[in-house]
Amino acid sequence: MKITVNGETKEITPETTLVSFIRDMDLNPDNVVVECNGKIIKRDEYDSLVLQEGNVLELIRFVGGG
Amino acid sequence: MLKISDRTFRSRLFLGTGKFSSADILRKTIEASGCEMITVALRRVDLNDPADDIMQVLDRNKYLFLPNTSGARDAKEAIRLARLARAAGSGDWLKLEVTPDPRTLLPDPVETLKATEELVKEGFIVLPYINADPILALRLQDAGAAAVMPLGAPIGTNLGLITRFQVEIIIDQARVPVVIDAGLGAPSDASLAMEIGADAVLVNTAISIAGDPVKMAAAFAGAVEAGRAAYEAGLGRKSSEASASSPLAGLDFIKG
């Protein structure tokens, strides 16, 4: 099934949790903040949230800035 | 010691972390600056370069993170970024930055005030980046801002404290700390800001694009300390007439 991540379409297998998807992207879940369909997902929900067809994710993190 | 909200700071130099050529230089620069607070921005992860992670060199236990809302063009966008920053685990501290005009990056005073009112309600410790406008500084203070951060000059210009006249009024009137943010180009600019009574300065570009950022960070740290000490010591007043430093008496012997 397809989801949109940071503007790109990604193919994932059904029943994929948010935390496993983040790890599959080679990211540390503790350093990434997530919006799913415009709603901020709390860190303690990453493990239980199962991604759905058509979900729109934004994966955001701190970068250098002034 | 500097106190903002419920935190005290020994160092009055805050460091921005943008535009450094490598994570290693950034880490060494932060150490050399002696700063206790660093600003960071929030951006989309580059899915093609997931390893590019600043958190690998920045220690949240050692430095207070001050996430900014850079890139926000209005209050709504700034509030969204603020909530994301909090969700990212940086706590309640926030550098509020609303810059609708990419050419000047000057802050929008109306949207900044609006966002401050909302974010204070949500429990954020808001440090708004503002033009050097004394009336706006008072309005933000009344709205619950923890400090005000007037610019010395537009972001990244290194033009120095060209807003000195207005900044002096802000310092004179403020009940919250005044942090000079943006535009300071040389350690002498930071010294001047501190000499006239600023509580702290926030520097990024002048350090990150210097030939040797680590050395420049140490230079700014020294300048901030010198300027603060001069302010505390009390500068002598200026005069348009000369006043001899050596005694005038006891010169009879050369006067024939």
Q: Examine residue B124 and state whether it is found in any structural domain, yes or no.
A: yes
Return the pLDDT at B189.
98
What pLDDT is stored for residue B104 in this prediction? Answer: 94
Q: Measured between beta carbons, which residues in chain A are less than 8 angstroms from residue B20?
A: 64
Closest-CA residue of chain B to A27: B50
Q: In chain A, what residues touch B60 (CB-CB under 8 Å)?
A: none
pLDDT for res B51: 72
Q: Does B50 touch chain A (CB under 8 A)?
A: yes
| Dist. CA B223–CA B226, nearest whole Å | 5
| Annotated domain spans of chain A | 2-60
Q: Which residues contact B226 (CB under 8 A, 6 or more apart)?
A: B191, B194
Query: Which CATH number fits the domain that encloses residue B214?
Result: 3.20.20.70
What is the model's pTM? Answer: 0.90
Our CA-based measurement puts residue B56 at a distance from the nearest CA of chain A, in whole angstroms, of 9
Please give the residue range of the domain that contains residue B199.
2-44+54-234
Alpha helices in chain B (DSSP H): 23-33, 75-85, 109-121, 134-142, 164-173, 187-195, 205-208, 213-233
**Residue of chain B with shortest Cα separation from A32:** B88
Does residue B248 fall inside a structural domain? no
What fold is seen in the domain A2-60?
Ubiquitin-like (UB roll) (3.10.20)
CB atoms within 10 A of CB B133: 19
Number of structural domains chain B divides into: 1
Answer whether residue B246 is part of any domain.
no
Of B16, B18, B45, the CB nearest to A59: B45
Token pair for B39 = 């600003």
The per-residue pLDDT for A47 is 93
pLDDT tens string B65-74:
999 999 999 9
Q: Is B255 helix (H, G, I), strand (E, B) or coil?
A: coil
Q: Per-10-residue mean pLDDT for chain B, 256 residues long? A: 95 95 92 96 87 76 93 96 91 96 95 98 98 97 98 95 97 96 97 98 96 98 98 94 90 82
Tell me which chain B residues have a C-beta less than 8 angstroms from the C-beta of A18. none
Q: What angle do CA B233, B35, B200 make, to 5 degrees?
A: 45
